Amino acid sequence: MPTEPQDAAVAAETIAKGYAFTGPALDLGALLWDGTCHPDAQIRVPLAVLNRHGLVAGATGTGKTKTLQLIAEQLSAPSSPSSRPTTPERRSSRPSAASPPPPPA
Residue 98 maps to a domain = no
Instruction: Write down the mean pLDDT value for the chain.
Output: 79
CA dist 73 and 91 (Å) reads 22
* pLDDT recorded at residue 98: 60
> What domain count does the chain have?
1
Q: Are the beta carbons of 74 and 51 closer than 8 angstroms?
A: no
Residue 80: is its pLDDT beyond 80? Answer: no
Residue 40's domain comprises 5-77
Q: How sure is the predictor about 58, in pLDDT bands with cuts at 50, 70 and 90?
A: very high
* pLDDT recorded at residue 104: 77
Residue 94 maps to a domain = no
Residue 69 maps to a domain = yes
Q: What is the pTM of this model?
A: 0.59
Residue 42 maps to a domain = yes
Residue 95 maps to a domain = no
* pLDDT recorded at residue 83: 47
Residue 96 maps to a domain = no
Residue 31 maps to a domain = yes
For residue 47, the one-letter residue type is: L
